[in-house]
Amino acid sequence: MAAITTGSAVSFARPAKASSVSSVSFAGLRKDNVAFPLQPATQRFTVLRAAKQETVDQVCNIVKKQLVLAEGTEVTGSSKFTDLGADSLDTVEIVMGLEEAFDISVEESSAQSIATVEDAAELIDKLVAAK
């Protein structure tokens, strides 16, 4: 299914490009984090961010280092790894960098559902909290 975007770089309204398998796991991930019942998937972008800003910032730094981005390139919570030019080798190195920085272990299936910096930060917070 083609993703129709507004064309602007940063927007919570843009749907994630995850395949249907991973969006199921993404929704499942969130249920553990929030006390109130979740909105259905079509409305999930109105839910407040669950990741800590500190975590998001750390992820941004690791991503910037790995991808050697041009001066002034903006990386924020909603930045998508593929839009930043990360290929598969970059992605696994980023995951390894996150594992080392946060002393966690990320399974392949969880890693596959990460599309944005925000997704990574949420997964990290969850894994750190579970330790």
Partner 1 sequence: MPLPHPPPRTPGVAGARLFASLPPPPPSPLQSRREVHVWYVCPDELNDRSQLDMYMDLLSPSERNNALSMNGPRLQKDAMLSRALLRTTLSRYSKIDPRSFDFKKNKFGKPEILWRSDDSNMEWPLHFNISHTSSLIACGIAMDVPIGIDVEEKKRKTTKSILSLARRYFTPSEVEFLAKIADSDAQQKEFIKLWTLKEAYVKALGRGFSGAPFNRFSIQLETNSRIQISKAPKACNDSDSGDYLSENWRFALAELNSSYYMAVCIEDNSRGFENGPVPLGLKVWKTIPFIEDTLVSGTDAVKLIT
Give Cβ neighbours of residue 18 (< 8 Å, ≥ 6 apart): 26, 113, 115
Q: Is residue 71 at the binding interface for partner 1, with CB under 8 A as the rule?
A: no
Residue 87 is a catalytic residue? yes
Judged by CB, which is closer to partner 1: 4, or 48? 4
How far is residue 54's CA from residue 62's CA, in Å, rounded to a whole number? 13
Q: Is residue 128 at the binding interface for partner 1, with CB under 8 A as the rule?
A: no
* Residue of 32, 87, 119, 125 marked active site: 87
For the chain, how many residues are written?
Answer: 131
Give Cβ neighbours of residue 100 (< 8 Å, ≥ 6 apart): none
Task: Indicate the DSSP class of residue 51.
Answer: S
Judged by CB, which is closer to partner 1: 34, or 87? 87
Judged by CB, which is closer to partner 1: 22, or 58? 22
Pick one of 35, 48, 89, 130: the residue that binds partner 1 (CB under 8 A): 89
Q: Which residues are catalytic?
A: 87
